[in-house]
Structures are given as structure tokens and as C-alpha cells.
A and B are shown apart, each in its own frame.
Chain A
Amino acid sequence: MDLDYGPEYDIFRQEVRAFIKEHRHLAPPPGDRAARPSAEAIEWQNLLIAHGYTARTIPCEYGGYGAEPDILESRIVAEEFSRARMPGGLANQGISMLVPTLLELGSEEQKRRWIEPTLKGDVVWCQGYSEPGAGSDLANLKTSARVENGEFVINGQKIWTSTARQADMIFCLVRTEPDAPKHGGISYLIFSMDTPGIEVRPLKTMTGHAEFNETFFTDVRVPVDQIVGQRGQGWLVANATLGHERGMLGDPDALENRMQALIALMQDERTGEGRAIDNPVLRDRLVALQAEVAAMKYNGMRVLSDSLKGEPGGMAKLIVKLQSCELAHQISALAIDAMGEMGILYHHSPRERDGGAWQWNYMFQLGLIIGGGTAQIQKNIIAERGLDMPREPKPARIAAAGQQTTAPAHQAQGAN
């Protein structure tokens, strides 16, 4: 057990701290996370890229900083920005998901054309994966793209397309080979959101905001070369990106920051007799959550160490999305309970706390438990890949069994 990053990393950490001290007046306000970055946010992004504090390992020819991959350096940057409560680099779907995918599977021309403007905040992307009939069973997607005169002609509907209204471009899964098996008939296309035939409708959620959209395609024409990978390989390409999304949803610093905010809230929030934290039941819940956050923090350090040694993360890594999202939700739940009746204030009400952020988080985090691979899908993955448990029988086998015997088999089919 050695928690020191080592002397060479101490120097790097000092550099990051010095940078933050010198430039913090240039940082956009922490809440500035609009889908379309402000001029100030773009300037900040460019400054961070120039110093290698974001896009650190992306090659220079594609607009990155070009450093050798070094997990600890990236970790130190994240730690120091989080500690200073400074916004790090932009973290939209284009940067977090499309850029890694292009780096891995894009053509040279696609890399040169799209990565740099995406990193610099000039091109904003949205993701066209889920459909009303293809959620957990994503490969069941039906949006079609037939080829006509050197163009894909796209028809269908996507859902959960966050930032679709602000986006310039979309990376989108469509069915190009209707006769191929489910997973083998999908292609990964990239095209402009200004293409005729695209209609975006805001999707209002339980939070009262429209964080997502529904996107409709009617005879949308896209040149056939705007594909990443080959026709029919879209499922493989998409899986590369979904891995990146799961990484994005399990950020250990985010949990610790929420925990610190909860502790501060419970010390500030007063009832007649004292502070919320003086209530022994609430305090007990706080300490219990704090221990759980600590466990996830050290679990994250263990995963980090394993990847430094080139070892697979194993179970410690498989559980991160499930546990982190649940824990984030529990933190918000306790905050609301600690506020008592004040906890229900929302929609810019007088006396509302923290701009209604706790209620918004409480609801939105439930969305995160469902999105990016539902909790139930995560449990399937943990059980089947982590514990090597038997898979669900294929529906065909269940149907066959159902013909031979009567009812029992269908009892087993849960949601997935």
C-alpha cells in the first residue's frame, strides 16, 4: 500500500496548482455548463488544452496536447481542479464519447475533420442511440437507412437525445442491413443536425426541465461516406462509446463533492432547536453515507492502481456505475430529508435552498440510475461477467418450453 504518487508527480501537481492560482480569474463560473459553450468557456477550454489540462493525451495533429497517456497525471489534474472548485475542460458527449470513438475507429479524414473543432467547443454533438422501442435492448433499434443514389436515406425516431437542440452534429445508430441478424445490421453515421428532414421536440422530464429531446427523421439524406467503421459494424463502434459513457457516469470526485456539500448543508440548515446535523437520526444517516462514499473512493483508487499495473479492473470496476449512481441519489435524498418542509421548495420559490439543486439532483439522479445501462442491466453484467452466472435463456427457447409445458417458464422473464 503506497498512496504517494511519487516525486515526479509532486512536481506535476505543483505545476497544476500554480496554473490554477495564476489563471483562476479567467475561469467561467462553475455552473456554466450550457450545451453550447459561451465565448468565455471556449477561451478557457483553449487555455486548458494549451497547457495539457484537458484533451491531454489526444495527439497534437487532432488538436489535443499530445502527451503520452499517464493515468496519474490525468488523475492529478482532476483532483486539483476539483479541490480548487474550478471547472475543468468541457465534458459534453462529443468530447467524452465521439472523440474517443473516432480516435479508435474513425478514418484519418474523420479524425482530422472533427476532433479538433469538437475539442475546442466549436462543434457540439448529440447522440442518437435509444429509440422508444430500443432502450436496454438497444440492438433492437428500427431507425432505417436505405441507400439511394450514393446517400443514406434515414427514417425513424430517436429518444433521449440530450443537447439535440443546440447540437451541430449527431452520431447516430441506424439499421442499414434489414436482413442481417439484429446486431449485425447496424451502422454508425455522423451527420449535420441542419440536414433537411430532422425535427427535434423537447422531452420534458419529471424535473420540470427538458434535459432531453425526441428526434424525428423523415427522408434525411446523408452521403454514404459519413459512416464510422463499415456498414453493419455499428454495434461494435457503439460499444466502444458506451464504455466511455459508463466511465463518465462514475466520477469519484463528484461523489465526494456532493458529500461535502451535504455535510455543509446539514451544518447550516437550522430547525428550532438546532442544526439538522444535531438530529441524531439524520446524523446517523450522514455518517453511514459518508462511510459508503469513502468505500467507493478507495475502490476507485484500487481500480486506478490496477489499471496502472495493466491489470483488469475485475469486480471492483464492474460495480462502479451501479453503486455510484445509487449513492449520489441517496445523498440527495438525505439532503431533502434534512431540510424537512423546506425540502419541497422548488421552481424558484421564495426560501428555496441552493436554487432547488437538491430536488433537481434527486430526480435527475434517478434518471442516471436508469440511463447509461439501467441498474437491472448493470446487475446482469455484474452477475454474468463478474460472477460468471448462467445467462437468461434465449426467448426462442422459452417459447419452445412454453409449448411443451404450460405456464412456469414465463414467470422468469423479468424486465432487462
Chain B
Amino acid sequence: MDFGLSQDQQMLRDAVAHCLRDTCPLDHVRWCAEQENPASDRVLEALNVLGVGGMLVPEEHGGLGMTLLDATVVAEQLGFAVAPVPFLASQVLAPIALREAGSKEQKARWLPKIARGEVRVGVAISETVETRDGSGVSSAAGKLTGTALFCLDFKGADAYIVADAKGRLHLVDAEASGLTTISLTTIDRTRSVGELRFDGAEAEPLADDGGVATSRLRDAGRVILAADSLGAGETMIQKAVAYAGQREQFGRLIGSFQAVKHMCAEMAARHEPCRSLVWFAAHTFDAMPNEASLVACQAKSHTAEVHRFVARTSTEVHGGMGFTDLLGLHYFFKRIGFDRQVLGGPETVRAEAAVLQGWTKAA
């Protein structure tokens, strides 16, 4: 019995952390956040040297055939560094979609390129969680019509994987006629999302599996978002503790005041169990797929609540400085805010968890 990360996973964690310390300091994040497309080629290339790009691509297609738990280890470090890289959709969800619902030909065409870092794939499955402003995509005779909001890793994508209203996934080339793309600007300038408008756009369906693959993408996406938030939260706690250990008021370090110390203790006490829950959710996705949706909901909703608390409390510990742009704390605050809302906020996700347990019927 061993509940925790394997030695390989610990080495992966340390390697990614080391790589991000070198290539992705906060100044670089600041610079990326001002660009049209925040994706950092420099960070991506360094991560690809470690094999991150193809970690979820099966070995026969040139990847490393790793697990979602491996991916959460990476996601936590990306959150820790607020790294501006298209990881969630392009390197996690797209390979999972293709490997679980792609045809032989689709796999052969896309997976090796994803593994080599030659293509980027956006993923739009928000409408399978909830629709807003009349969004939704229908498919007929190989063509898509309608609007998909909050396509993840939107900018610079060569193709998109899109869920239709029945939960079936489709591959759409970024250059397809009948596709209009509109960038959406969010609080989190380290990641890009956008809107896909389809007007009879040519699309290539993935397997008609009754929505199984889409549900797997939701589960995986929620676990990765939770892991990202875990990393960003970890940084916010460390920064709060460090600041309280150097800032003096009333002739003493503010960290020696219990009012401040207890804020830090509460953050740590609520944050630490999230790590085990996220690991377990990822492991469930890998090893016990029938239970994965419920645990993914628990991990997503619980880390969202805890890290909203961490984000505001850490900012408060920093006093007025926390509120400024100078320290850059807000990048982590906003990353946590993004992670909370995307693929279902806590209330939405908890409602789903209740349905999954038969406590109520789907609305």
C-alpha cells in the first residue's frame, strides 16, 4: 500500500519545478500576459524536452503513455508557477479524447504530432456542463451549427475538439470554412479561451459512444483544474508566510501576531487535504473509471472553495501590497478564479455529484 506519489512521480514533479524555475519566473509570466497569445514558446519547449507534451499520448503513437495522476503532478507545478502554456486542452484533454474515442486513422494523424509538440488542439466541452447565452452545437451530416463558448487553449490552435448537444465529440480544423473564432478576454491572462461559431462547418466526428468520452474529458478537466488551483494556492500560502516573516509593524514581525499567524495556519489546514483528494481523483480516473465522475466532482468543488479562501486570505496577509500589481500575487488569485468557474463552479458540480449518487434527478 502506498498512498502518494511514486518515486518516478516525485522526480517528474521536481524536474518540472526545476524547469519552470529556470524558464518561467514571474517576470516572464508578466510579459506573456501582455501578449496577444500568452502561450510561452520558451516554456513549452523546455517542458517538451521533459516529454510533457506527449505524456498522455500512448507509446505506440510516440508519447509516454502516462497517467492522469502524472498529469496532475505537472498541472500542480504549472499552477505553482502560473505558467502560460496550453496544457489542459492541448496536452491532456485532446490526447485523452483521441485515445479513447478516435478512429485508428485519427489517432495516427494527430497523436504523434501532439506528442512532438507540432500541433495545438483546443477543446470546447463547456456546453456539456451548462449553456449560457443560447450556446450549444448541433451536428448533422458531418457539419456543425451553433456556438461553443469557453474553448480552452483557444489561441494558436490548429484544430478544435468540440462536443455537440448529444455529447458526441468532433474534430474541427481551425481553417474550416463556416467556422468563426472570437477570442474571449478573462481575468486570467495566462491562459486563452475563446468562442467558436459554427455555420455548417465541416467536422469529423469521433466515436459515437453515447457521451462516454465527453464525460471522461469533463472528469479529467476538473481534476487538472483542481490540481492547477492546488499549485497556485500553494504559492499563495508560501508567499503569505514569507511576507509575514519579513514585514514588521508595531516593532515586530507581523507573522508573530496570532491574527496573522492563524490566517496562515487556516490556509494550510484547509489546503493540505485537497492534495490527497486531487491525487485520489486522478488515480480513480486512471484505475476505477466507474467512480471517477463523483470523485472528480468532489475534488473540483472542494478545491475551488478552499482556494477561493486561500486566494483572498493570502492577499489580505500581504496587506496593501497584496492588492497592488507590484508583487504579482494577483496572477495566482486570478488563476484560482479561472479554475473555479471553468467546467462547472462548485454549486453546479455538487449538483452533479448529488445526481451521480441518486440523491436527486438531473435538472
What's the least CB distance linking B282 to chain A, in Å? 8
With A1-B69, A379-B266 already in contact, the answer to whether A416 and B353 are too (CB < 8 A) is no
Q: Does A206 interact with chain B (Cβ within 8 Å)?
A: no
* Pair B295/A283 contact, Cβ less than 8 Å: no
Q: Which of A44-52, A121-129, A223-231, A304-312 contacts B (4 or more CB under 8 A)?
A: A304-312
With A295-B302, A412-B257 already in contact, the answer to whether A316 and B252 are too (CB < 8 A) is no
Q: How far is the CA of A301 from the CA of B299 in the complex (A)?
A: 16
* Pair B273/A299 contact, Cβ less than 8 Å: yes
Smallest CB-CB separation from B283: which chain A residue?
A: A1
Interface string of B260-302 (1 = CB under 8 A from A): 0110111011101111110110010001000000010111011
On chain B, the residues within 8 Å of A284 by CB distance are 347, 350-351, 354
* Pair B301/A291 contact, Cβ less than 8 Å: yes
Q: How far is the CA of A3 from the CA of B273 in the complex (A)?
A: 17
* Pair B258/A414 contact, Cβ less than 8 Å: yes
Q: How far is the CA of A267 from the CA of B354 in the complex (A)?
A: 12
* Pair A387/B1 contact, Cβ less than 8 Å: no
Complex partner residue of A379 from B4, B244, B261, CB under 8 angstroms: B261
Q: Does A91 interact with chain B (Cβ within 8 Å)?
A: no
Complex partner residue of A389 from B264, B276, B298, CB under 8 angstroms: B264
* Secondary structure of the B contact surface, majority rule: helix
Interface size class of A (residues with CB under 8 A): 35 or more
* Pair A315/B268 contact, Cβ less than 8 Å: yes
* Pair A387/B256 contact, Cβ less than 8 Å: no
Q: Does A26 interact with chain B (Cβ within 8 Å)?
A: no
With A287-B350, A316-B273 already in contact, the answer to whether A292 and B302 are too (CB < 8 A) is yes
Q: How far is the CA of A287 from the CA of B69 in the complex (A)?
A: 24
Smallest CB-CB separation from A292: which chain B residue?
A: B302
On chain B, the residues within 8 Å of A349 by CB distance are none
* Pair A283/B268 contact, Cβ less than 8 Å: no
Interface size class of B (residues with CB under 8 A): 35 or more
What's the least CB distance linking B215 to chain A, in Å? 18
* Pair A323/B270 contact, Cβ less than 8 Å: yes
What's the least CB distance linking A284 to chain B, in Å? 5
* Pair B268/A2 contact, Cβ less than 8 Å: no
On chain A, the residues within 8 Å of B354 by CB distance are 283-284, 286-287
Q: Does B251 interact with chain A (Cβ within 8 Å)?
A: yes
On chain B, the residues within 8 Å of A5 by CB distance are 1
Complex partner residue of A414 from B5, B259, B273, CB under 8 angstroms: B259
* Pair A6/B261 contact, Cβ less than 8 Å: no
* Pair B350/A288 contact, Cβ less than 8 Å: yes
What's the least CB distance linking B31 to chain A, in Å? 31
Q: Which of A11-19, A98-106, A403-411 contacts B (4 or more CB under 8 A)?
A: A403-411
What's the least CB distance linking A57 to chain B, in Å? 18
* Pair A389/B3 contact, Cβ less than 8 Å: no
* Pair B360/A283 contact, Cβ less than 8 Å: yes
With A287-B353, A288-B302 already in contact, the answer to whether A316 and B258 are too (CB < 8 A) is no
Among A302, A316, A389, max chain B CB count under 10 A is at: A389
* Pair B273/A298 contact, Cβ less than 8 Å: yes
Smallest CB-CB separation from A4: which chain B residue?
A: B1
On chain B, the residues within 8 Å of A272 by CB distance are none
With A3-B3, A4-B1, A6-B1 already in contact, the answer to whether A291 and B283 are too (CB < 8 A) is no
Smallest CB-CB separation from B353: which chain A residue?
A: A287
Q: Does A380 interact with chain B (Cβ within 8 Å)?
A: yes
Q: Which of B94-141 contact A (CB under 8 A)?
A: none
Q: Which of B172-212 contact A (CB under 8 A)?
A: none
What's the least CB distance linking A69 to chain B, in Å? 16
Smallest CB-CB separation from A283: which chain B residue?
A: B354
Complex partner residue of B1 from A3, A283, A299, A383, CB under 8 angstroms: A3
* Pair A390/B256 contact, Cβ less than 8 Å: yes
* Pair B273/A296 contact, Cβ less than 8 Å: yes
Among B69, B244, B257, max chain A CB count under 10 A is at: B257
Q: How far is the CA of A383 from the CA of B241 in the complex (A)?
A: 9
* Pair B258/A295 contact, Cβ less than 8 Å: no
On chain B, the residues within 8 Å of A308 by CB distance are 1-2
Complex partner residue of A2 from B1, B275, B298, B299, CB under 8 angstroms: B1
Interface string of B324-363 (1 = CB under 8 A from A): 0000000000000000000000110011011000011000
Complex partner residue of A304 from B3, B244, B257, B261, CB under 8 angstroms: B3
* Pair B359/A379 contact, Cβ less than 8 Å: no
Q: Which of A357-404 contact B (CB under 8 A)?
A: 376, 378-380, 382-384, 386-393, 401
With A287-B353, A323-B269, A412-B257 already in contact, the answer to whether A298 and B279 are too (CB < 8 A) is yes
Q: How far is the CA of A416 from the CA of B359 in the complex (A)?
A: 43
Q: How far is the CA of A380 from the CA of B269 in the complex (A)?
A: 12
Q: Does B305 interact with chain A (Cβ within 8 Å)?
A: yes
* Pair A322/B302 contact, Cβ less than 8 Å: no
On chain B, the residues within 8 Å of A401 by CB distance are 251
Known: A316-B275, A392-B258, A412-B257. 17 other contacts (CB 8 A): A277-B359, A287-B298, A287-B350, A287-B353, A290-B353, A291-B277, A295-B274, A299-B277, A301-B276, A302-B4, A315-B272, A323-B273, A379-B265, A389-B244, A389-B256, A409-B251, A409-B252
What are 7 A-B contacts defined by CB distance under 8 Å?
A1-B6, A294-B280, A299-B275, A302-B275, A319-B272, A323-B269, A378-B265
The 6 closest A-B pairs by CB, nearest first: A298-B276, A379-B265, A291-B298, A295-B273, A299-B273, A291-B302
